[in-house]
Every structure is written in structure tokens, then in C-alpha cells.
């Protein structure tokens, strides 16, 4: 063992990897694990079918669809205008050639450098055609996005989580409130400008017998380091001293 990890041998065989680990009790017996590659190989037929379906959606909803692309060989992404959340989700759910009736996930991404910093991501599944599609739209801190609960009931708690973590407001949501953080929590933790330490810390106060929120106090005071010498971090480091000369001697002139 080295650094606490077992020795192993990996051998790549096409799209799979075989990992051989020594048996913990008998070194003569090897245990073989077959790990299938996580990235699926490129399938030209599937890629072309997804691209054609993406173009079909863009032709059917030209008012809302802004871009269509196929990523990672077989993942269809459709970028839409924020006003098209309800029409596009309804079309993908009810159209006979789509039938994306299951909302697998709804999340967001914070990209502060963009004018519309938040990217809302909808992951849908069609059991009828065994296919997936990803919708993306955008918004900022103040502009609300239409709630998709009227189309997919599963979006209820997903949108509450996005509101709690990112601060994206969903209009017409039946119960838009925080779902993970505590009551009275300040800010939205998944925003890139949210401090790692947070604004307040929550602890149980034994004197008042309840949970209290107080300003964050760092347990270690601020220290100023002198980085002129790179060797000061070593415990045996000592500053260089001038050699002592006997009385009456003078340093030799160079």
C-alpha cells in the first residue's frame, strides 16, 4: 500500500477497463472487477435522430427556441426564451412524437459574468421513446420565471430548492418558500458571490435553551505573515548571524 490506497493494475480493453486487486486474505487469488466506461461511444444514428428532432422542435416553436445542440454525442439540449417555458414544456409533454412526461430534475447555474447570470435547466424523460431532453433558459436576480408546476407537479419542490439556493423567483408557484435553509436565513448559498463563511452562524445556547443566530466569528484571529524568507516555515530556521571576530580584528576588505 502507498499513501493508504491499495496497489492495483488497470488494463484498458476497448470501451471497458479491468481492475485487478490483490485478494486481502490470499495473495494467490485475484479479484477482477469490470468497469464499463462512463462515456457512451458515439452513435451516428442516435446523434442524427436527436439533431433532427431538435430541428423539428425549433420549426414547431420558432418563437421560443433560440438554439439546438447535441452534446456528448447523445444529449439533446434546447435553449429557449424565458417566455417559452410553459409552451415548450407543454408541447414536449403532449406531442405524440415527444411525450416527455417525466421531469427528472430542475436546477440552476450561476454565471456572474453574464448579464442574465442564472441559467435554469430542465431535464425531461420520455418513457415512451426512452429518450431524454434538456431545456435551458435564463434570467437575472430580479426577473421572475414562470413556474412549471402547472405542467409537471414534480417541479414544485425543485423550484423551491432553486429559489432557496439561487434566489430565482418563480411566478405563480403555489408555495414558493425556502426548503433547505432555516427560517430567517439571509442570502442564497449557491450564488457565486455568497461568502463561504456565511453571514450568521447558528448554534444552541444553553443559557437561553434555544437555537440562536449570531454574526460569524472566526475562531482564529487574523495573522500577518512575513513572506520575505521562504524558510521561516521550518521550525529549525534561524536568521543568519554575522560571524563573531576576536577583539581587535577587523573584517577583511574585499
> Residue 39 — very low, low, confident or very high, per pLDDT cuts 50/70/90?
low
Q: CA 117 to CA 188: how far, in whole Å?
A: 14
The confidence score (pLDDT) of residue 105 equals: 96
The confidence score (pLDDT) of residue 42 equals: 80
Max mean pLDDT among 8-12, 25-29, 97-101 falls in 97-101
Domain-wise residue ranges, the chain: 1-38, 44-171
Q: Is the pLDDT of residue 5 over 60?
A: no
Give per-residue pLDDT as tens, 72-89: 878 999 999 999 999 999
The confidence score (pLDDT) of residue 14 equals: 44
CATH code assigned to 44-171 = 3.30.460.80
**Closest-CA residue to 165 (of 110, 124, 90):** 110
Give per-residue pLDDT as tens, 161-177: 999 999 999 999 999 99
Q: CA 186 to CA 188: how far, in whole Å?
A: 7
> Residue 34 — very low, low, confident or very high, per pLDDT cuts 50/70/90?
low
**Closest-CA residue to 101 (of 158, 63, 148):** 148
Q: Is the pLDDT of residue 7 over 50?
A: no
C-beta separation of 69 from 77 below 8 A: yes
pTM: 0.69
The confidence score (pLDDT) of residue 109 equals: 96
Give per-residue pLDDT as tens, 183-205: 778 899 999 988 887 888 888 88
Q: Is the pLDDT of residue 8 over 50?
A: no
3-state SS, residue 22: strand
Bridge partners of 57, per DSSP, are none
The confidence score (pLDDT) of residue 185 equals: 83
Q: Is the pLDDT of residue 65 over 70?
A: yes
> Residue 24 — very low, low, confident or very high, per pLDDT cuts 50/70/90?
low
Q: 19 vs 133, which has greater pLDDT?
A: 133
Amino acid at each position: 500500500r502507498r499513501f493508504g490506497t491499495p496497489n492495483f493494475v488497470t488494463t484498458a480493453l476497448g470501451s471497458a477497463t479491468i481492475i485487478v486487486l490483490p485478494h486481502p486474505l490470499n495473495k494467490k487469488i485475484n479479484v477482477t472487477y469490470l468497469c464499463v466506461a462512463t462515456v457512451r461511444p458515439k452513435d451516428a444514428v442516435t446523434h442524427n435522430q436527436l439533431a433532427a428532432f431538435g430541428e423539428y422542435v425549433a420549426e414547431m416553436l420558432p418563437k421560443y427556441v433560440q438554439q439546438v445542440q447535441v452534446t456528448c454525442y447523445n444529449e439533446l439540449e434546447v435553449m429557449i426564451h424565458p417566455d417559452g417555458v410553459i409552451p415548450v414544456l407543454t408541447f414536449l409533454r403532449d406531442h405524440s412524437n415527444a411525450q416527455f412526461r417525466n421531469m427528472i430534475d430542475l436546477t440552476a447555474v450561476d454565471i456572474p459574468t453574464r448579464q442574465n447570470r442564472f441559467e435554469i435547466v430542465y431535464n425531461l424523460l420520455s418513457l415512451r421513446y426512452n429518450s431524454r431532453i434538456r431545456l435551458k433558459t435564463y434570467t437575472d436576480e430580479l426577473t421572475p420565471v414562470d413556474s412549471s408546476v402547472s405542467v409537471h407537479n414534480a417541479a414544485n419542490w425543485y423550484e423551491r430548492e432553486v429559489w432557496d439556493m439561487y434566489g430565482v423567483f418563480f411566478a405563480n408557484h403555489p408555495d414558493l418558500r425556502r426548503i433547505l435553509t432555516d427560517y430567517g436565513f439571509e442570502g442564497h448559498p449557491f450564488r457565486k458571490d455568497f461568502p463561504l463563511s456565511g453571514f450568521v452562524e447558528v448554534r444552541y445556547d444553553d443559557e437561553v435553551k434555544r437555537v440562536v443566530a449570531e454574526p460569524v466569528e472566526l475562531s482564529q484571529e487574523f495573522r500577518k505573515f512575513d513572506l520575505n524568507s521562504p524558510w521561516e516555515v521550518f521550525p529549525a530556521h534561524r536568521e543568519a548571524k554575522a560571524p563573531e571576530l576576536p577583539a581587535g580584528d577587523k573584517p577583511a576588505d574585499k
